[in-house]
Amino acid sequence: MGRFALTAFVIAFFIFMLAPILVVVVVSFTSAGYASFPIPGWSLRWFVRIWEYPPFINAMITSTVVAVLATVLSCLISIPGALYLARARAGWANVVATFLLSPLSMPMIVIGFSSLFFLTAVGIGISMTALVITHTVVCMPYVLRTVIAVYRSVPPPYEEAAAILGANPLRTFIEVTLPLIRPGIAAGSLFSFLTSFDNLPVSFFFASAQTSTLPVVMLSYIENQFDPSIAALSTLQLALALVCLILADRLYGIKKMTVAA
Amino acid sequence: MTGLNRRRFLQTGTAGAGLMLAGSPGLLRAQAGQVLNVTAYGGVWETAVRECFVAPFETKTGARATVSLGAPAQWLAQVEASPQSPPLDVLIMSPDLAIVAAQSGLMQDLTVNRIPNLAKIPQEFTDACLGKGTYLDYGVAGITYNKDMVPNPPRSIAEFVDRVSAGEFVASVPSISYAITPIMLIWTMAEALGGGVDNVDPFFEAMERMRDNLVFWGGPNDFFNHLASGEADLGIYFDGRTWNHYDEGATWIDFINPEEGGALTAVAVQIPNNANPLAFDYMNEMLDAENQARFAEIMNYAVTNVDVVYSEKLQARVTPWQQTAFPPYEAIGAARNEWVDRWNREIGM
């Protein structure tokens, strides 16, 4: 009886979580000129509309470029920091780690608003550079957190053995440390990419004719238009997230990554 | 109040010289290569802006205009962050933010000398932006209903309240999370029921009476979904959006401007201080009768130039602004926080 109730609860829970997403996916295939459910017929016209409306495509390219650059920069900055902070015993190391993780606990809109005024004051202004810098700030904690978690579980004797056998620090890092922390980097990069790609509150303040990201264009579009192309875009974004997860699973294994996270 | 300082003197001089040189091929060559950064909402709005305003501007000046998509709060923050060198030259604004921007001293005065077509815009629209902007187009927040469910719709806000309270209909109204709810619902209903900006008790009393038969929409698409799914029979919504739904195939939808007048909800246009002087040429195109008429046909909304001649189809749809309720945006802005607080305590949605 208890097992039956638990199974029923789990099924109900998944239906509750997935039903709204499924509705969006179904609506994206509607033949109607407006979003409604159930749909009167099936059509790919709203996916075609995405390709016909240039700002969607331009914004998709901008979002992808920003997400890739922010993820790469996050890794370049966070991995060395994480390696140091994971093993540091000084009290201030915890303070630094907490500070670097703080963007996770701050409202994104505050980060976006303050970054706009700061980066404008230092002369960077509204530009692709500003957008990448701010996205990197938002994405860094994901890589830092996962790499620290993985690296803390790596016993120090592995690296000590490499050093004793004559490997210099760089070779030790490349041949011993990096393979061991790879699941953490993969998990952090995946979260980082998806966080940047979906980000609205930060991108909102740095949008211009050249730097509008997909969420900003979607918000602006939905303000005055009611067709289901936004549902079609959401379906594509969902597909992208699924592809990323499947690739990550094939390359590293979701199980290892979730342990890292 | 504006004082004459060095920058303003230089700007005025530049504008005067510009007027004298207008039409000169030499000036066109000088303007070619200049880039103006303008703003638009996404989707059909952006398409209409490019077709109706950007194209004639580029043809006449030889300059290029880039269109930034987004929202008024975003654009105002960007100008605030860099007032000496604003990243945008012409802003699309909501009426309440237009007043905030004007009061903050971020926007330029608009004059007929610099924008000849401003003479064709009712003075009330420019005054509503404190002289530092004007309205481009407007809609009316009235009663939108499902004709299949409501064969005999209420003709006034008072009748709307009575019949929803009696349980005859389920109504969908904007929630407090929607930015202009204080204007399109709280003030409008209070005004229609004998109150006003200083007394919104009639609105809260009406909401208490209707509460068992209300659903709330957080964004315009929610409202349409409420009607399409049968969750609501009618509600408070915009005329232009209603006609857009109708043209998209939802022919069961219809709109009534209530007898008391629905709230006028406008789109304002402003030019920041230190913007590219070509911004005035662009705004002149935005206020041109022919350009506005084409814009109105695409958007299904009324426009503001008094010389605009609408098509027969649109003429039947637009509401003359004199038949709307013109909200006191400045006073509403001052009372907004108190109303929101009261809404959260008494209504909670």
pLDDT band at A258 (very low <50, low <70, confident <90, very high): low
Q: Are residues B315 and B280 in the same domain?
A: yes
For residue A245, pLDDT over 70 is answered with yes
Give me chain B's average pLDDT, please: 89
Taking an 8 Å cut-off on Cβ atoms, the answer to whether A208 and B87 are in contact is yes
pLDDT at B150 over 50: yes
Closest residue in A to B83 (Cα) is A120
Q: Is residue B185 situated within a structural domain? A: yes
Contact list in B for residue A223 (CB cut-off 8 A) is 41-43, 45, 71, 220
Secondary structure class of A30 (helix, strand, coil):
strand
Q: What is the band of B36 on the pLDDT scale with cuts at 50, 70, 90?
A: very high
**Residue range A218-229: average pLDDT?**
83
pLDDT score for A74: 96
* Closest A-chain CA to B227: A36
pLDDT at B17 over 50: no
Q: Report the pLDDT value the prediction gives residue B26, as an integer from 0 to 100.
A: 53
Q: Do B160 and B254 sit in the same domain of this protein?
A: yes
The pLDDT value recorded for residue B349 is: 67
Most B CBs within 10 Å, among A199, A208, A218, to test the B interface: A208
pLDDT of residue A259: 56
The share of chain A scoring above pLDDT 70, in percent, equals: 96
How large is the average pLDDT for residues A101-129?
Answer: 93
Residues B186 and B82 in one domain: no
Per the CB < 8 Å rule, is A222 touching B44?
no
Domain tally, chain B: 2
Question: What percentage of chain B reaches a pLDDT higher than 90?
Answer: 80
What pLDDT, on the 0 to 100 scale, is given for residue B348?
Answer: 81
pTM of the model: 0.83
Q: Which two tokens stand for residue B69?
A: 């998509």
pLDDT digits 0-9 by tens, A124-182:
989 999 999 999 999 999 999 999 999 999 999 999 999 999 999 999 999 999 999 99
CB within 8 Å: B248 and A209: no
B116 has a chain A CB within 8 A of its CB: no
- Interface of A to B at Cβ within 8 Å reads 32-37, 53, 55, 113, 116-117, 120-121, 125-126, 204-205, 207-210, 212, 216-227
Q: Is the dihedral of CA B223, B227, B230, B236 positive or negative?
A: positive
Which of A7-21, B54-68, B104-118, B299-313 bottoms out in mean pLDDT, i.e. has the lowest?
A7-21
Q: Would you say residue B264 has pLDDT above 60?
A: yes
Whether B67 and B185 share a structural domain: no
Q: Is the pLDDT of residue B333 over 70?
A: yes
Q: What is the pLDDT of residue A251?
A: 75
Confidence category of residue B10, pLDDT binned at 50, 70, 90: very low
Domain match, B98 and B153 both: no
pLDDT for B320 equals 93
pLDDT, residue B28, reads 56
Hey, are the CB atoms on A207 and B74 less than 8 Å from each other?
Answer: yes
Q: Compute the mean pLDDT over every residue in chain A, rounded to the nearest whole number.
A: 90
Q: Per the domain annotation, does B63 fall within a domain?
A: yes
Domain annotation covers residue B111: yes
| Residue B61 placed within a domain | yes
Taking a C-beta distance cutoff of 8 angstroms, is the pair A145, A189 a contact? no
Q: What is the CATH number of the domain that holds B218?
A: 3.40.190.10
Instruction: Quote the pLDDT of residue A256.
Output: 64
Whether the per-residue pLDDT at A222 is higher than 50: the answer is yes
Task: Write the pLDDT tens digit of every residue in B201-237.
Answer: 999 999 999 999 999 998 887 898 899 889 999 999 9
Residue B4 has pLDDT above 60, yes or no: no
Residues of A in contact with B46 (CB under 8 A): 55, 220
> Does A183 have pLDDT greater than 70?
yes
Are B316 and B340 contained in the same domain?
no
Is B279 contained in some domain? yes
- State the ipTM, two decimals: 0.83
Is B1 within the bounds of a domain? no
On whether residue B173 sits in a domain, the answer given is yes
pLDDT at B12 over 50: no
Q: Do both B53 and B74 map to the same domain? A: yes
- With CA atoms as reference, report the closest residue to A143 among A184, A176, A85: A184
Per-residue confidence (pLDDT) for residue B15, from 0 to 100: 44
Q: What per-residue confidence (pLDDT) applies to B207?
A: 96
Please identify among residues 226-285 of chain B the ones whose CB lies closer than 8 Å to any CB of chain A.
Answer: 228-229, 241, 244-245, 248-250
Same domain, B134 and B216: no
Q: Residue A218: closest CA among chain B residues belongs to which residue?
A: B42
- List chain B residues with CB under 8 Å of A55: 42, 46, 69
| Residue B175, domain member (yes or no) | yes
Same domain, B131 and B276: yes
Whether pLDDT at B13 is above 80: no
- Residues A69-85, mean pLDDT to the nearest whole number: 95
B45, B70, B245 ranked by CB distance to A226: nearest: B245
What is the CB-side half-sphere exposure of residue B182 using CA atoms within 13 A?
Answer: 23
B305: containing domain:
6-138+265-323
Residue where the block lists tokens 């802005």 = B333
β-pairing verdict for B253-256 and B134-146: antiparallel
Q: B117 and B198 share a domain?
A: no
Same domain assignment for residues B337 and B205: yes
Give the residue-averaged pLDDT of B162-183. 93
Residue B21's pLDDT is 41
Mean pLDDT, residues A104-130 taken together: 93
Nearest chain A alpha carbon to B36 = A209
Look at residue B169 and tell me whether its pLDDT is greater than 90: yes
> What is the per-residue burial (b if ≥16 Cβ within 10 Å, else e) of B277-307?
bbbbbbbbbbbbeebbbbbbbebbbbbbbee
My answer on whether B252 and B342 are in the same domain is yes
3-state secondary structure of A156: coil
Closest residue on chain A to B223 (Cα): A226
Q: Would you call A42 helix, strand, or coil by DSSP? A: strand
Interchain CB contacts (distance < 8 Å): A and B: 108
Distance CA B212, CA B185 (A): 18
Cβ separation of A53 and B81 shorter than 8 Å? no
pLDDT(B20) > 80: no
